[in-house]
A and B are shown apart, each in its own frame.
Chain A
Amino acid sequence: MFEFCADPSQLSGLTWLSCYLTTGTHFNFYWSFLTVLMLLAVTAPVALAFGFGGAMAARSPLLPVSWIGKGYIAAVRGVPDIVYFLFFVIALDQGIEWTKHLFVCEDLSQPVWNGTEFRVCPEAKVPLAASSAIWHSAYAFATAVFTFALVFGAFAANVLYGAMQAVPRAQLETAEAYGMTPRQVFRRVLVPQMWVFALPGLSNLWLILIKATPLLFLLGIQDIVYWARELGSAKTSGNNPYPHGDWRVFYFLALLVFYLAFTRVSEVFLARLTRRLSHGQATLGGEQLRKAGA
């Protein structure tokens, strides 16, 4: 990057370090932080939407819909995450390609699953082999978001389901007494009041999600933990301009600081949110706020 970096073997001390920290691999490392933050920013709302849908379905008076909601929650919560990240993603990917295969391939006589091989015609590949690397990354990222959202959505659904049950029955009855329809009761009374009950559970999920991002590497995305390992691993002098020993401990320390700082920021934000949501609620927190304000 800098001009004086042309011959690293002649450098020492801080100049060496400034060159070392601006190599191409390090920029990939810095970018991967953004990838992780972006994944979190996209996944959290999507997972919440999945959770909301799941909780609503589970509460539905229609029995089949309720079964679907409860089945989703039970199935995902009962199966180890790693199975989803290894098996589900491959199944999802093959499912998409198989569906496309049925539409775009001319020759459908060959079996798609042949022993351990999965084979569709080149036109049915998603993304196509010829498409640029950015589409391959975008596709991997989208499947990652979907998988994370599916897994965390089930946990969020259970939290929201519990929170909806926790809203005092008297509140809903009062709304009904005013003549509101069930939908109005749900929208105007139940949902605004349930968040304060859901927040502790949701904040747990958020913190677990932050730390679950290293699973990204299983999905073919190079995240911060992958790059910390790659950069920290010992480099021999033959082919590497910046040879060094096993430096993984320093890179993992940097990750530790990042994760701790991120957790702290999240905690501060969540504490504020709890305070805000407790306003005017018939809970202990709400009551304390009322007294303090009076």
Chain B
Amino acid sequence: MKKMMLATALLALTAGASLAQDVVRIGTEGAYEPYNYIDQATGELTGFEIELGNELCKRATLNCEFVQNAWDSIIPNLQSGNYDLIMAGMSITDEREEVIDFSQNYIPPASSDYLALTADVAIGEGAVIAAQTGTIQAGYVAESGATLLEFATPDETVAAVRNGEADAVFADKDYLAPIAADSNGELVLLAEEVQLGGGVGIGLRETDTELKDKLNAAIQTMKDDGSLNAMITKWFGPEAVTF
């Protein structure tokens, strides 16, 4: 049965070989509202990056398709060719530049902030700070002297603060702000904003230079005609940093 399925699959796949080149697969996490998340009503991927990705592909005349992948393995799966791009709120950092390439940024360097139960929580030495594994914020906490508590998903980092496991969570402010607004004062953003990284860009394999040029050009046209700023304001609110 399995062999038959595989054989038919291979056959069906080889038949459509000539179409293959044009499809660009984009990997995303699907758990980082409002960057990329699952639409509650339809169960489909949605968010700022989904809308932006589709617009960029339209401008670059590429045929794109989003696929979901866990954050932990999002870079290895790009390298082994399971998809061609990463659009997952990934900040451009030197460490990541060593293994993959980035397009120019499509979100300007934005603030990271702490979210805690009270506004007077200490966040320095001795504090326990939650952050998502492998993020720019986790690296920052590890170097700050506070105890880093890592979680696989962003949601778990916030839950850790709610149940007292961590003193505060450190993440992108755009992710934390709606959570704070929704919590009826239970959770508050601290006035400790930090600027990290070189903004959010599209991650690509280092050998895909042609694709990178196309996307850079498409991002530039969106920056120039103001449509990128409009999209940022639509998803992140009027206070969000724009270009």
Interface size class for chain A? 35 or more
A119-B205 CB under 8 A given contacts A94-B80, A129-B23: yes
Q: Given A24-B41, A24-B43, A90-B80, do A128 and B13 touch, yes or no (CB 8 Å)?
A: yes
Question: Counting CB contacts under 8 A, is B39 at the interface?
Answer: yes
Contacts of B178 in A (CB 8 A): 236-239
Whether B41 contacts A114 by the Cβ 8 Å rule is: no
In whole angstroms, what is the CA distance A119 to B63 when docked? 20
A234 touches B158 (CB 8 A): yes
Which chain A residues (92-142) contact chain B, with CB distance < 8 Å?
A: 93-94, 97, 104, 114, 116-120, 122-123, 125-131, 133, 135-136, 138-139, 142
- Near A by CB (< 8 A), chain B positions 48-64 give 63
User: Smallest distance from the beta carbon of B189 to chain A beta carbons, Å?
Assistant: 14
List residues of chain A with CB within 8 A of the CB of B20: 122-123, 125, 128-130
Q: Are B182 and A236 closer than 8 Å at their CB atoms? A: yes
**Given the complex, which residues of B lie within 8 Å of A171, measured CB to CB?**
none
Interface: B159 (CB within 8 A) = yes
Chain A 177-193 against B: per-residue CB contact (8 Å), 1 yes, 0 no?
A: 00000000000000000
Is the Cβ of B40 less than 8 Å from the Cβ of A241?
A: yes
A-contact bits for B67-100, CB 8 A (1 contact / 0 none): 1111001001001111010000000000000010
C-alpha spacing A128/B17, complex, angstroms: 7
Evaluate contact between A126 and B13: CB separation under 8 angstroms.
yes
**Are B39 and A128 neighbours in the complex by a CB distance under 8 Å?**
no
Which size class do B's interface residues fall under?
35 or more
Whether the pair A127, B80 counts as a contact (CB closer than 8 A) is no
Contacts of B185 in A (CB 8 A): none
Q: Which residue of A lies closest to B16 (CB)?
A: A130
Q: How far is the CA of A131 from the CA of B63 in the complex (A)?
A: 12
User: Is A279 interfacial (CB-CB < 8 Å)?
Assistant: no
Q: Given A130-B19, A237-B182, do A27 and B43 touch, yes or no (CB 8 Å)?
A: yes
- Residues of chain B lying within 8 A (CB to CB) of residue A127: 9, 13
Which chain B residues (5-25) contact chain A, with CB distance < 8 Å?
5-6, 9-10, 12-14, 16-17, 19-25
The complex places the Cα of A126 from the Cα of B155 at a distance, in Å, of 33
Contact of B81 among A123, A125, A138 (CB under 8 A): A125
CB contacts (< 8 Å) of B39 on chain A: these are 24-25
A–B pairs, 9, beta carbons within 8 Å: A25-B39, A93-B80, A127-B9, A129-B24, A130-B23, A138-B9, A230-B31, A233-B156, A236-B33
The residues of B with any CB-CB pair to A shorter than 8 Å are 1-2, 5-6, 9-10, 12-14, 16-17, 19-25, 31, 33-34, 37-44, 46-47, 63, 65, 67-70, 73, 76, 79-82, 84, 99, 153, 155-156, 158-159, 162, 178-179, 181-182, 205-207
Chain A residues within 8 Å of B, Cβ to Cβ: 23-28, 42, 46, 90, 93-94, 97, 104, 114, 116-120, 122-123, 125-131, 133, 135-136, 138-139, 142, 145-146, 217-218, 220, 222, 229-230, 233-243, 246, 248
